[in-house]
């Protein structure tokens, strides 16, 4: 079997049905093999970054590995952004890159780059295959490494001569390499300790993250069971939305910089915090030395380097979230009291915080408020089989605040890296995996232009994605920070030449919709849903709306800036001199 | 003057480090495969950790295992992170903080040795003095002619530092050092 045949065979043996890619000189033998088979469908993107984000969206919405195939040199360097994105958000992504022939490596050959060198820090692991007889084993190992433990991206770099060379194909083996054995089962003693701590808690909170989604649907199910059993309030990171339903009665909303007031206040004042598959990111904690000062912290994570990285855990539990929650639920049932009355005062306090209605905004009958647009989008799509992706910026935070997620794997967003341009190709990937579902990219006018070329791919594959742009002509989040930190000097955050998105949609062969009146919004959204081809929806929103509530720089969770307090003056003075020194 | 400049704000929260940094010696057992050293040192540079000394060689040829000895400096919190970050690297089998292990064993510190080659050139009194001191340090002469010596010296880092300092006025030409090799006392392995 040739190396190229092995690649296709290994894809089949690892259950791959779709891969996203772009051909080029150094991967032509593999493309030739793809041409001669029907089991694996190749989706041709328009830019390698698009292939990566599409594969990420595919992975995040299915729980399977996303696969991308790109050529050497620029193909590989264009893949770097999605690789780092997948690394930070723990997305299983297998990237196969072509490389110049082995004999030319190091000679500055045409379209050569040091792919394994460039991608080493942005992958979980990578390989340069120098012998065709190693190829099959490496590909199987790549899938194993990408999908197990804390999932992440991997790169397999295959020189062109190895693709042509003949060798022996070995099927996937069950015995993994000895140096890589992620610990999945939690230490039972630690879990007992955690349950004891939880049973005595007066002001507990569950803080869940993307790890719950990554662990699989069973983990989300167990999380819901744990919340029901304990009666504890629950908040989640941006990445963890949907693991617990937004309609659940114990739901406090997202936490962090633009999280809800009640979630952040409860995090600050709690006495026991149960962190489930989250990593105390700096967008979550606010000022570290004021982060939840009086709580005992239980931290469940599969990655030992996440524990004690920024916040000390009193009870660290190393293991897969699903397995640990299973033990935790079982132990709670067996030992803990079922009396939820002790939590009444805590819930009363939370109700007071909730009454501040921190996601509130001033309604407007003349212009569409961006929050209103998301709310209407939610109301008109919540009964449907809907998947949401986003770009990065204000629209992303508004989507997280105002769109209610009921199930895991329904929300695809670039959390860790904050990659503008993620949402449109991610939507393509989701739509390929779920052809009958409604897939909406909630976008900003600036972000969407970073990977807008994938509209063309969406048309080619009849992927009827909906790109819902909250268009305010600004890089809204950049502008918001300039207002907060840089004396309202709006340096290059306004886009003076905006394309006509409706004509652009039509130019690609899609459908364009524009709406700038609140009373026309519902009909326009209904039109978007009913059109069975890719749509760009240019939703003209209030240009100067800002995203609140917000934990300003250098502040703690209990020092949030709330929308009703966010006057121009308060915004200008939100970050004091001390905060400004925190460069 | 600088007071007039408005300090820039930031989207990040940065806390001052309050713990004191310490030197620790780590032993890292890895699969000897291409790029493994680059992964380890890339981790250190990428995450802003320090490398004071680095030694690497294949130690078990049949299993293709290499042992990397790293002397690093950081606060206890950072040192714990370094250990866990190293453990995440796929070809890494084990990471042992020898300094912590020695504390647990109650042996004070790990055994640490370094080898140095020291070239000294000179004539007359300086030459005689260099040879006399080398003898006191139990350095071996491995090459010589009438105008130079090359000494081979093994010992603790402090001894080698001292020897080099002494040789400086006596005609020190160049030094080559291996970096620290280390293991713990007692019968138990890493």
pLDDT in tens, A308-323: 999 999 999 999 999 9
Q: Which of A125, A286, A288 sits opposite B90 (nearest CB)?
A: A125
Sign of the dihedral defined by the CA atoms of residues B76, B78, B83, B88, in that order = positive
Q: Å from A518 to nearest chain B CA?
A: 33
Band of pLDDT at residue A577, cut at 50, 70 and 90:
low
Q: Which residues of chain B form CATH 3.30.70.260?
A: 22-105
Q: Which residues of chain B form CATH 3.30.70.1150?
A: 111-183
**Strands of A234-236's sheet in order across:** A251-254, A234-236, A204-208, A272-276, A296-301, A315-318
Q: Which of B4, B47, B90 to mutate to test the interface with A (most CBs of A within 10 A)?
A: B90
Pick the CATH number of B111-183 from 3.30.70.1150, 3.40.710.10, 3.40.220.10, 1.10.260.30: 3.30.70.1150
Tell me which chain B residue has its CA closest to the CA of residue A305.
B84
* Stretch B15-36: mean pLDDT: 90
Band of pLDDT at residue A579, cut at 50, 70 and 90:
low
Rg of chain B over all Cα atoms, to the nearest angstrom: 21
Band of pLDDT at residue A498, cut at 50, 70 and 90:
very high
B11 chain-A contacts, CB cut-off 8 A: 481, 485, 553
Band of pLDDT at residue B2, cut at 50, 70 and 90:
very low
The superfamily (CATH) of domain B22-105 is ACT domain (3.30.70.260)
Q: Which of A207-216, B16-25, B149-158 has the lowest mean pLDDT?
A: B16-25
Using CB atoms within 10 Å of the CB of residue A338, give its burial: 0 to 12 exposed, 13 to 18 middle, 19+ buried: exposed
Catalytic residue among A17, A37, A41, A111: A111
Residue B190 CB neighbour total at 10 angstroms: 16
pLDDT in tens, A347-375: 999 999 999 999 999 999 999 999 999 99
pLDDT in tens, A272-329: 999 999 999 989 998 888 999 999 999 999 999 999 999 999 999 999 999 999 999 9
Residue A545: the pLDDT is 93
Band of pLDDT at residue B6, cut at 50, 70 and 90:
very low
B38 chain-A contacts, CB cut-off 8 A: 117, 120
Q: Report residue B11 CA to chain centroid gap.
A: 37
Pair of tokens at residue A360: 């509130």
CB contact under 8 A, B14 and A580: no
CB contact under 8 A, B10 and A553: yes
Residue B188 CB neighbour total at 10 angstroms: 8
Sign of the dihedral defined by the CA atoms of residues B157, B159, B164, B165, in that order = positive
Q: Which of B6, B10, B35 sits opposite A120 (nearest CB)?
A: B35
Average pLDDT value over all residues in chain A: 95
Give backbone dihedrals phi and psi of A42, rounded to 5 degrees, phi first. -95, 130
pLDDT of A583 > 60? The answer is no
Closest CA to A396 of A428, A443, A452, A439: A443
Pair of tokens at residue A482: 């300039």
Residue A270 makes CB contacts below 8 A (sequence gap 6+) with A201, A203, A204, A205, A292, A294, A295
What CATH code would you report for A370-540? 3.40.50.970
Q: CB-based contact (8 Å) between B48 and chain A?
A: no
pLDDT of A122 > 60? The answer is yes
pLDDT of A571 > 90? The answer is no
CA distance A296 to A197: 8
pLDDT in tens, A462-475: 999 999 999 999 99
Q: CB-based contact (8 Å) between B18 and chain A?
A: no
What CATH code would you report for A3-164? 3.40.50.970
Using CB atoms within 10 Å of the CB of residue A130, give its burial: 0 to 12 exposed, 13 to 18 middle, 19+ buried: middle
Q: Å from A582 to nearest chain B CA?
A: 6
CB pairs under 8 A between A and B: 87
Q: Which of A178, A282, A484 sits opposite B93 (nearest CB)?
A: A178
Closest CA to A266 of A576, A570, A560, A561: A560
**Residues A125/B36, Cβ–Cβ less than 8 Å:** no
Sign of the dihedral defined by the CA atoms of residues A190, A192, A197, A203, in that order = positive
Residues paired with residue A297 on neighbouring β-strands, in sequence order = A273
Band of pLDDT at residue A178, cut at 50, 70 and 90:
confident
% of chain A surpassing 70 pLDDT = 96
Decide if A188-354 and A370-540 have a common fold. Answer: yes
Band of pLDDT at residue A485, cut at 50, 70 and 90:
confident
In chain A, domain spans: 3-164, 188-354, 370-540
Please confirm, yes or no, whether A48 is among the known catalytic residues.
yes
Q: Å from A290 to nearest chain B CA?
A: 10
CA distance A147 to A155: 13
* Stretch A185-193: mean pLDDT: 97
Please confirm, yes or no, whether A160 is among the known catalytic residues.
yes
Q: Report residue A295 CA to chain centroid gap.
A: 28
Residue A555: the pLDDT is 85
Please confirm, yes or no, whether A111 is among the known catalytic residues.
yes
Pair of tokens at residue A449: 């232009």
Q: Which of A172-186, A201-215, B89-103 has the lowest mean pLDDT?
A: A172-186
Residue A567: the pLDDT is 67
Band of pLDDT at residue B13, cut at 50, 70 and 90:
low
Residue B190: the pLDDT is 86
Question: Per-residue DSSP letters for B32-89?
Answer: --TTHHHHHHHHHHHTT---SEEEEEEEETTTTEEEEEEEEEE-HHHHHHHHHHHHHS
Band of pLDDT at residue B141, cut at 50, 70 and 90:
very high
Q: Which of B3, B4, B12, B13 to mutate to test the interface with A (most CBs of A within 10 A)?
A: B13
Q: Å from B42 to nearest chain A CA?
A: 7
Q: CB-based contact (8 Å) between B38 and chain A?
A: yes
CB contact under 8 A, B13 and A282: yes
pLDDT in tens, A196-246: 999 999 999 999 999 999 999 999 999 999 999 999 999 999 999 999 999
pLDDT of A575 > 90? The answer is no
Which spans in A90-131 are helix H? Answer: 115-119
Catalytic residue among A5, A33, A48, A326: A48
A180 chain-B contacts, CB cut-off 8 A: 90-91
CA distance B11 to A576: 13
Q: Å from A125 to nearest chain B CA?
A: 7
- Cα angle value A328/A201/A306 (rounded, 5°): 55
pLDDT in tens, A529-557: 999 999 999 999 999 999 999 998 778 88
Residue A177: the pLDDT is 80
Band of pLDDT at residue B7, cut at 50, 70 and 90:
very low
pLDDT of A379 > 60? The answer is yes
Residue A569: the pLDDT is 63
Look at residue A70 and give its three-state secondary structure. Answer: strand
CA distance B153 to A64: 57
B10 chain-A contacts, CB cut-off 8 A: 485, 553, 580, 582-583
pLDDT of B188 > 50? The answer is yes
pLDDT of A10 > 60? The answer is yes
Catalytic residue among A49, A68, A88, A160: A160
Tell me which chain A residue has its CA closest to the CA of residue B86.
A305
Residue A206 makes CB contacts below 8 A (sequence gap 6+) with A223, A226, A227, A232, A233, A234, A235, A274, A276
**Residues A390/A399, Cβ–Cβ less than 8 Å:** yes
* Stretch A102-126: mean pLDDT: 97
What CATH code would you report for A188-354? 3.40.50.1220
* Stretch A478-504: mean pLDDT: 93
B1 vs A453: which has the higher pLDDT: A453
A116 chain-B contacts, CB cut-off 8 A: 35
Residue A538 makes CB contacts below 8 A (sequence gap 6+) with A469, A471, A501, A502, A512, A513, A514, A515
Please confirm, yes or no, whether A371 is among the known catalytic residues.
no
């Amino acid at each position: 079997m040739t190396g190229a045949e092995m690649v296709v065979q290994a894809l089949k043996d690892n259950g791959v049905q779709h891969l996203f890619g772009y051909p080029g000189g150094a991967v032509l033998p593999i493309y030739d093999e793809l041409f001669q088979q029907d089991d694996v469908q190749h989706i041709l993107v328009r830019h390698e970054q698009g292939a990566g984000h599409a594969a990420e969206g595919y992975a995040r919405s299915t729980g399977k590995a996303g696969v991308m195939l790109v050529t050497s040199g620029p193909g590989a360097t264009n893949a770097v952004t999605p690789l780092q994105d997948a690394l930070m958000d723990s997305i299983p992504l297998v990237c196969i890159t072509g490389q110049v022939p082995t004999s030319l490596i190091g000679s500055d050959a045409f379209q050569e780059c040091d792919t394994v060198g460039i991608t080493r820090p942005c992958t979980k692991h990578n390989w340069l295959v120098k012998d065709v007889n190693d190829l099959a084993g490496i590909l199987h190992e790549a899938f194993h490494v990408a999908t197990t433990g804390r999932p992440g991206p991997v790169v397999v770099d295959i020189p062109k001569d190895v693709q042509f060379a003949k060798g022996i194909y070995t099927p996937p083996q069950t015995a993994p390499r000895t140096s890589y054995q992620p610990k999945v089962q939690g230490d039972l003693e630690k879990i007992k300790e955690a349950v004891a701590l939880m049973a005595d808690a007066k002001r507990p909170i569950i803080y869940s993250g993307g790890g719950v989604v990554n662990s699989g649907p069973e983990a989300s199910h167990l999380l819901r069971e744990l919340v029901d059993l304990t009666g504890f309030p629950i908040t989640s990171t941006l990445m963890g939305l949907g693991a617990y339903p937004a309609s659940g009665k114990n739901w406090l909303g997202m936490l962090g910089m633009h999280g809800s007031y009640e979630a952040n206040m409860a995090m600050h004042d709690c006495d026991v915090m149960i962190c489930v598959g989250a990593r105390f990111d700096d967008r979550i904690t606010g000022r570290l030395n004021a982060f939840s000062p009086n709580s005992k912290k239980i931290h469940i994570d599969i990655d030992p380097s996440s524990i004690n990285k920024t916040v000390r855990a009193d009870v660290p539990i190393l293991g897969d979230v699903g397995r640990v929650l299973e033990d935790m639920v079982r132990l709670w049932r067996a030992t803990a009291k079922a009396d939820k009355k002790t939590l009444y005062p805590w819930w009363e306090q939370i109700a007071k915080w909730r009454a501040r209605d921190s996601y509130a905004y001033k309604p407007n009958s003349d212009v569409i408020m961006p929050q209103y647009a998301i709310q209407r989008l939610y109301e008109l799509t919540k009964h449907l089989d809907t998947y949401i992706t986003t770009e990065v910026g204000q629209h992303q935070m508004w989507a997280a605040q105002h769109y209610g997620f009921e199930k895991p794997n329904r929300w695809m967003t670039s959390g860790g890296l904050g990659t503008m341009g993620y949402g449109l190709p991610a939507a393509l990937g989701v739509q390929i995996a779920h052809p009958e579902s409604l897939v909406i990219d909630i976008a900003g006018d600036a972000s969407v232009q970073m990977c807008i070329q994938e509209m063309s791919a969406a048309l080619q594959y009849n992927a009827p994605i909906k790109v819902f742009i909250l268009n305010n002509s600004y890089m809204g989040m950049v502008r918001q920070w300039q207002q907060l930190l840089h004396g309202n000097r709006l340096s290059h955050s306004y886009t003076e030449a905006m394309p006509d998105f409706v004509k652009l949609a039509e130019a690609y062969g899609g459908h364009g919709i524009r709406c700038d009146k609140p009373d026309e919004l519902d009909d326009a959204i209904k039109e978007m849903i009913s059109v069975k081809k890719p749509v760009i929806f240019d939703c003209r929103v209030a240009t100067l709306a800002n995203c609140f509530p917000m934990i300003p720089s250098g502040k703690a969770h209990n020092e949030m800036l709330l929308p009703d307090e966010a006057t121009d003056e308060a915004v200008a003075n939100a970050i004091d001199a001390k905060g400004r020194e925190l460069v | 003057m600088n007071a007039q400049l408005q300090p820039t704000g930031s989207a990040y929260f940065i806390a001052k480090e309050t713990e004191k940094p310490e030197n620790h010696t780590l032993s890292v057992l890895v699969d000897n495969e291409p790029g493994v050293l680059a992964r380890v040192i890339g981790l250190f540079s990428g995450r802003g950790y320090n490398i004071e000394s680095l030694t690497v060689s294949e130690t078990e040829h049949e299993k293709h295992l290499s042992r990397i000895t790293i002397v690093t400096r950081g606060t206890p919190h950072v040192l714990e992170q370094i250990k866990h970050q190293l453990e995440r690297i796929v070809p890494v089998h084990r990471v042992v903080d020898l300094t912590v292990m020695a504390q647990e064993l109650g042996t004070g510190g790990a055994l640490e040795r370094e080898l140095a080659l020291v070239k000294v050139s000179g004539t007359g009194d300086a030459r005689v003095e260099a040879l006399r001191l080398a003898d006191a340090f139990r350095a071996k002469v491995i090459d010589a002619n009438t105008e130079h010596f090359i000494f081979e010296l093994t010992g603790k880092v402090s001894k080698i530092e001292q020897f080099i300092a002494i040789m400086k006025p006596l005609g020190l030409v160049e030094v080559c050092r291996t970096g620290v090799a280390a293991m713990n006392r007692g019968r138990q392995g890493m």
